[in-house]
Structure 1
Amino acid sequence: MTGLGAAEAEVVGLTSELIRIDTTNTGELETTVGERVAAEYVAGKLGEVGYDVTYVESGAPNRGNVIVRLAGADPSRGALLVHGHLDVVPADPAEWSVHPFSGAVQDGYVWGRGAVDMKDMVAMMIATARRFRRDNIVPPRDIVFAFVADEEAGGAYGAQWLVENRRDLFEGVTEAIGEVGGFSVTLAEDVRAYCIEIAEKGIAWMRLRVRGRAGHGSMIHDDNPVTKLAEAVARLGRHRFPQVLTESVREFLNEVSNLTGLTFSEDDLEGAVGKLGPLSRAVGATLRDTANPTMLNAGYKVNVIPSVAEATVDCRILPGRQAAFERELDEILGPDVEREWITHLPPVETTFDGALADAMGAAILAEDPGARVLPYMLSGGTDAKAFSTLGIRCFGFSPLRLPPDLDFTALFHGVDERVPVDAIKFGTRVLDRFLRSC
């Protein structure tokens, strides 16, 4: 079979097969499975239709990456990077309705860890790349397809490593698409919009450390690092950083207001955003910086007061807020708490204009006439943080048309992660149109 129908026919199977390959990334090399088997699967699928495949292990065994380049009609134009990650976060089978690595296709969905984050898009990339090669389709400019490791732990063994050590693979690339964007939201009964990511908050994973005097657990002790750390962590966890309305969020809210008639007064912005239903969590997280304590570590025996206590904190910082955020941290934590950055990746921000933005909108509207396209900010982070350091303009565009009642954002890293079969077929059609006109 050839043509777009062939790509649609195989994308569901590709998604299921990718999910069945366990690529769990715990963030620790000793317990991370690695992406090699998935990378070899991708390499095989692309190699069998004639691509010249580059396989790279990025700084550690089994951390596999696959990159191919499809020549375009105009080599003088900047190339487009289409990137997706192969790793997934851990999943506990006891919590799921189906086994998280089953790749089950049932009830109109493909189920499993990575179904939306982001083996669905990886499958769409493979299906589209294979279709272009089989049918001798020449895109307007060079397209680089990159399937990378380690995104779920910040990319040190994936995109970050590649841009530092193999930037030759991205020579001439000026723009990129990846996760998380192009998904539909139903804002009202007759209003469907597709959110395209143009910005994302910075990631700053932080370790806190308090030192004190070790001693016997039975004694009165006024220098207990566990107590001091617990008090500091509680202050930080309860703290609300100031509301900041960035230009990308303001643009999103203005567009939603135009479509729905909702108003977003800055006097009660969070209350107004709450009217957006499930989308309110994702949008609300882009109204201010966040610092969420996630792990605590102290002591080695119940009757011993330790000399050191540590905690980790997941910080997400709005563009332009780094210095103010750090000043506020120091005020909250106080002088007894040491802090260090474990991972520090900057925000990414662009504007929603130009030929590439027009091509994204046109591809969606061709498949869903009457829909609207909205630029938005992602509260999380993606491999765009690494690729943007090469001067590449990055967007989140992994198109999916979703059922109105599906709480899509809750599926990321969630239990019973799944993607509608019809959504990935729709996404394959949109991606095909987009890459033939970009």
Structure 2
Amino acid sequence: MNPVDDTVDLLSAMIRNACVNDGTPDSGGEQRNAGVLLDHLSGTRAEVEVVEPHPGRVSVVFRVPGHDREAPALTLLGHTDVVPADPRTWSQDPFSGAVRDGVVWGRGAIDMLNLTSAMAVVTATVARRSEPLAGDLVFAAVADEEAGSRFGAGWIARNRPELLPWDYALTESAGAHVGSGAVTFTVGEKGSFPRRLHVRGRSGHASMPWGARNAALIAAEAAVRVARHRPAARPDERWEAYVRAQDLPPAATAGLLDPATLDDHLHHLGEAARFGHALTHLTLTPTVVRAGGKLNVIPGTAVVDVDIRALPGQDESEADAELHAALGELKEFITVERLGARTASQSGASRLQDAVAGAVGRCFPDRRLLPSLTAGGTDARFVRERGGTAYGFGLYTSAWDVGRYRRLFHGDDEHVDVESLRLTTDALQDVVESFLGDTR
């Protein structure tokens, strides 16, 4: 068996299964990818637990017992669902899983079926060893991460917490290169405070628009104001390390490190500018606008959904203050509904981080780990909520800078090269054996 071939084959198969999660309970169909992983680990000594909180929303937990009950355990936390993809905007079939010229194409190739496949391969390798490692290795292939994890890791944390060891975990979103000397290593993620704006207008006949209070227009203006609002930059020590790793001219570095001039210098980061902005700001993004139902009726109500992401140390009162500042006098016509609240989470340094640093250093001797936040949410937060340490993991070739890597998350023509799959699989095997190492 060749581990990288197995990773490629698993990735292609899971892409073809098209476990598309559109946020509705009956989407996802993760039982298909669960079946692929169950087949791959069949015949090994891995203990298996299957949970299905909703029909078709299957998560599978594989446990490879270690020989030392006192040794730390490690959870590999991979999700098996993907976001929708519009084939009209792709140059490839988004669910072909095709392998062409050393590249695997399809939805989930980056987020995160690539890493889930590597986790399965590494777990199977450990489960076939004649001698066990010291600590337990647990591979959790979970559903529903792309819609909040209410049927996946979140459900397990609330209803079956005994299935996972929560002390240490690795999950997605890391491994891109920064400058000539660093590789990203995700130690935390921003908080989320989604809001829904309920707009009040006045219905009327569309043939008489003069003086009307059109809720659609108020909603549109509210969305534009929110999108154009500019909260102040709030860089931290991780941002300074990230900027200094970029190998930029001194003037550009100084501009990016000064909160007053940071936004004006983001262009120096190239394709990674959007990610750089997200790392240093509370962000407000209108994502859904709904108004009206008939062509000749001025709508009296409308709704705008706003995705708000906050940095460590920022709470929902600060998020709401920024939202109200953006709306200005439009607040007279708007009621704000809180759709949820999740503060930012992060993990400190640990022995697991040391194991990752060692593995990355063996693949890239001239690179160091660069601890960073991720702008989006991951299942790592459930580990941290239970007091554990969780990191984002992965490893790509030096052709993958942060801009290229982040652009493909939920983007068109998602793909990953086979060499990066080899690097990820080999490095993950290294981390598992180092961290759970046999101490007899």
Give the alignment's TM-score, normalised by structure 2.
Answer: 0.91
Higher mean alpha-carbon deviation, 315-324 vs 97-106, is at 315-324
CA spacing shift, 1:36–1:341, aligned 2, 3 Å: farther
* Deviation (angstroms), 1:78: 3.5
Residue number in structure 1 paired with 2:34: 39
Residue number in structure 2 paired with 1:176: 169
Structure 2 letter corresponding to 1:436: E
Residue number in structure 1 paired with 2:158: 164
CA spacing shift, 1:257–1:137, aligned 2, 3 Å: farther
CA spacing shift, 1:98–1:332, aligned 2, 3 Å: closer
- In the alignment, the residues of structure 1 paired with residue 389 and residue 332 of structure 2 have an alpha-carbon distance, to the nearest angstrom, of 40
- In the alignment, the residues of structure 2 paired with residue 258 and residue 362 of structure 1 have an alpha-carbon distance, to the nearest angstrom, of 27
* Deviation (angstroms), 1:431: 0.5
Structure 1 letter corresponding to 2:37: V
Residue number in structure 2 paired with 1:205: 194
Higher mean alpha-carbon deviation, 231-240 vs 138-147, is at 138-147
2:404 is aligned, of 393, 403, 407, to 407
* Deviation (angstroms), 1:158: 1.3
Higher mean alpha-carbon deviation, 42-51 vs 391-400, is at 42-51
* Deviation (angstroms), 1:93: 1.6
- In the alignment, the residues of structure 1 paired with residue 137 and residue 338 of structure 2 have an alpha-carbon distance, to the nearest angstrom, of 35
Residue number in structure 2 paired with 1:86: 80
Residue number in structure 1 paired with 2:427: 430
- In the alignment, the residues of structure 2 paired with residue 133 and residue 433 of structure 1 have an alpha-carbon distance, to the nearest angstrom, of 15
CA spacing shift, 1:108–1:85, aligned 2, 3 Å: same
1:29 is aligned, of 6, 25, 28, to 25
CA spacing shift, 1:404–1:86, aligned 2, 3 Å: closer
Residue number in structure 2 paired with 1:150: 144
Cα distance per residue 1:177-217 (max 9 Å; x no partner) = 10101x13151xxx242100012111233211112332222
* Deviation (angstroms), 1:422: 0.5
Instruction: Tell me the matched-pair count.
Output: 426
Residue number in structure 1 paired with 2:236: 246
After TM superposition, the structure 1 = structure 2 runs for residues 215-294 of structure 1, keeping only pairs within 5 Å, are 215-219=204-208, 220-256=210-246, 262-263=253-254, 264-266=256-258, 267-294=260-287
Residue number in structure 2 paired with 1:387: 383
Structure 1 letter corresponding to 2:52: E
1:55 is aligned, of 45, 50, 62, to 50
* Deviation (angstroms), 1:277: 2.8
2:281/2:311 contact within 8 Å kept: yes
Structure 2 letter corresponding to 1:44: D
2:363/2:427 contact within 8 Å kept: yes
* Deviation (angstroms), 1:262: 4.3
RMSD: 2.2
Matched, 1:304 2:293: no
2:187/2:390 contact within 8 Å kept: yes
- In the alignment, the residues of structure 2 paired with residue 179 and residue 155 of structure 1 have an alpha-carbon distance, to the nearest angstrom, of 14
**Structure 2 unaligned residues grouped into runs of 5+:** 436-440
- In the alignment, the residues of structure 2 paired with residue 79 and residue 186 of structure 1 have an alpha-carbon distance, to the nearest angstrom, of 31
2:192/2:309 contact within 8 Å kept: yes
Residue number in structure 2 paired with 1:132: 126
- In the alignment, the residues of structure 2 paired with residue 117 and residue 404 of structure 1 have an alpha-carbon distance, to the nearest angstrom, of 15
Cα distance per residue 1:87-136 (max 9 Å; x no partner) = 11111122222211111000211110000101110110011011111123
1:74/1:141 contact within 8 Å kept: yes
- In the alignment, the residues of structure 2 paired with residue 250 and residue 136 of structure 1 have an alpha-carbon distance, to the nearest angstrom, of 46
**Structure 1 unaligned residues grouped into runs of 5+:** none
2:3 is aligned, of 7, 16, 34, to 7
- In the alignment, the residues of structure 1 paired with residue 249 and residue 74 of structure 2 have an alpha-carbon distance, to the nearest angstrom, of 31
Q: What percentage of residue pairs aligned between the two structures are identical?
A: 35
- In the alignment, the residues of structure 1 paired with residue 215 and residue 22 of structure 2 have an alpha-carbon distance, to the nearest angstrom, of 28
1:139/1:437 contact within 8 Å kept: no
1:184/1:192 contact within 8 Å kept: no
Structure 1 letter corresponding to 2:421: I
- In the alignment, the residues of structure 1 paired with residue 200 and residue 42 of structure 2 have an alpha-carbon distance, to the nearest angstrom, of 55
- In the alignment, the residues of structure 2 paired with residue 137 and residue 326 of structure 1 have an alpha-carbon distance, to the nearest angstrom, of 55
Residue number in structure 2 paired with 1:416: 413
